[in-house]
A and B are shown apart, each in its own frame.
Chain A
Amino acid sequence: MDGPELAFADEDPDIAFEVFVRERGPALYRAAWALALDRADAEDLTQEALARTYRHWRRIRRADTDPFAYARRTLVNLRVDRWRRRSRESATLREYVSDRRVPEVASGVEDRAELAGLLDRLSLPQRRVVVLRYVLDLPVAVVARELRMSESNVKTTCSRALAVMRADRTPTILEES
């Protein structure tokens, strides 16, 4: 969810940034996980996106730009960079291994593994749209603006992505039943 505009302590950028990290960091992390499908990568991506946001913090605030929007765009672009450097299969595999090593947070692991598998089948443009639209719960118009797409293109991409995910889910259901 985009959430209400945060009130920042403009006189101290460090304090304002701390508020921003506390309030918006978890949402960024959720989006990062859905893009990277790996908790360690997601944490790294989130920290990098936040670090880049902090580097431009004063200018972002001076220009009255929403820092969360800036961080979201940075995150998506970071993922694009990294996507080209590594295989999707290895990322998904690491997530399974990672989950099994941490039994205390194992609740929801099955759903998480299933969602990771479904997201892994999407193309990068489809995944970016789905993450912004559903994971961050942004309106179509905002997704379109942030990804520089038309609203109809966002809707079409979303629809096709969901169809792929639903289609890929069917064999799993049959196997389980």
Chain B
Amino acid sequence: MKNVEQLLREVPAALPEPDLDPAAIRVRARRSRHRSALVVSAACTVLVAAVIVGALQLGDRTPTILRGTMDPSTSQLPTGSPSDESPALPVIVVEEPASVQIRMQARIEGVLEVSDDGCVGIQDVIGSFSLAAFPTGTTIGLEGDALVVTFPSGTGVPVGTQVVGGGGWYNDRAFAETLLPDDLPETCRSLPLVQFYLED
């Protein structure tokens, strides 16, 4: 008679080999990414509708701006950093003053991250990555080994940091396109675009 520890070690090890096809898994990963983008898009649509309805109901009420906070110790995801082979810094999208008509008021929460294609954005709690549009004057640079996004207020936020700030997703792709720099990688261009700022 096997003891419990033997059962735990031997029974799973004797299971038939699973049918794991790397190609099928890669397809699944890509579909999952696409689904996440659709979910974000649908959520944005609802959010934008709610904002519009709210604005109509509240008239000229002064908007409140969420205070940005950060806590590097809570970062849960692997952080991106430039490799030795590619010294170029990741691409950061900064909104030009003339193009920004409003500061959206949603609470944006996630991890400041660099996408596989080298674009800076926000990875939200459900794992969806959105390209970030930062306020005019935001810069990115290396501080020691850390990749740091510096906001116009002077606050530096290392990539990999859990951040909470204000902003909102640009649901109108045509308008979003006008905010994107010409040299942005095509793969980044197709990502959802989120306005993100910390309080000045």
Q: Would you call B114 and A166 a contact (CB within 8 A)?
A: no
A12 part of interface (Cβ distance < 8 Å): no
User: Across the interface, do A62 and B83 meet the contact criterion of CB distance under 8 Å?
Assistant: yes
Q: Tell me the smallest distance from the CB of B150 to a CB of chain A, in Å.
A: 22
A52-B32, A56-B78, A63-B78 known; A29+B18 contact, CB < 8 A: yes
Pick the contact of A52 from B5, B8, B11, B29 — CB < 8 Å?
B29
Within 8 A of A (CB), among B5-57: 5, 7-20, 22, 24-26, 28-29, 32-33
Does A96 reach chain B (CB closer than 8 Å)? no
Residue from the list B2, B4, B79 in contact with A63, Cβ < 8 A: B79
Identity of the chain A residue whose Cβ is nearest the Cβ of B32 in the assembled complex:
A51
Contacting B at CB under 8 A, from A157-177, are 162, 165-166, 169, 173
Residues of B within 8 A of A169 (CB): 4
- Is A50 among interface residues, defined by CB-CB distance under 8 A? yes
B11 touches which of A17, A21, A108 (Cβ 8 Å): A108
For the complex, what is the distance from the CA of A25 to the CA of B18, rounded to whole Å? Answer: 8
CA distance A26 to B5 in the complex (A): 20
Chain B, Cβ-Cβ closest to A107: B14
Taken residue by residue from 107 to 120, chain A's Cβ proximity to chain B (1 for < 8 Å, 0 otherwise) reads as 11001101100100
Query: Is there a chain B Cβ closer than 8 Å to A135's Cβ?
Result: yes
Report B-chain residues with C-beta under 8 Å of the C-beta of A14.
Answer: 22, 26
Interface: A155 (CB within 8 A): no
B131 to chain A, nearest CB (A): 15
| A43, B18: Cβ atoms closer than 8 Å | yes
B25 touches A59 (CB 8 A): no
Contact (Cβ within 8 A) A46 B8: no
Chain B residue contacts of A21, Cβ below 8 A: 20, 22, 25
B residues in contact with A59, CB < 8 Å: 77-80, 113-114, 116
Question: Which residues of A approach B to under 8 Å, CB–CB?
Answer: 14, 17-18, 21-22, 25-26, 29-31, 33-34, 39, 42-43, 46-48, 50-52, 54-60, 62-63, 65, 70, 105, 107-108, 111-112, 114-115, 118, 130, 134-135, 137, 162, 165-166, 169, 173
Given A59-B114, A108-B14, 13 further pairs, Cβ under 8 A: A21-B25, A22-B22, A29-B15, A46-B20, A51-B26, A55-B127, A59-B80, A105-B16, A111-B2, A111-B11, A112-B11, A115-B12, A173-B1
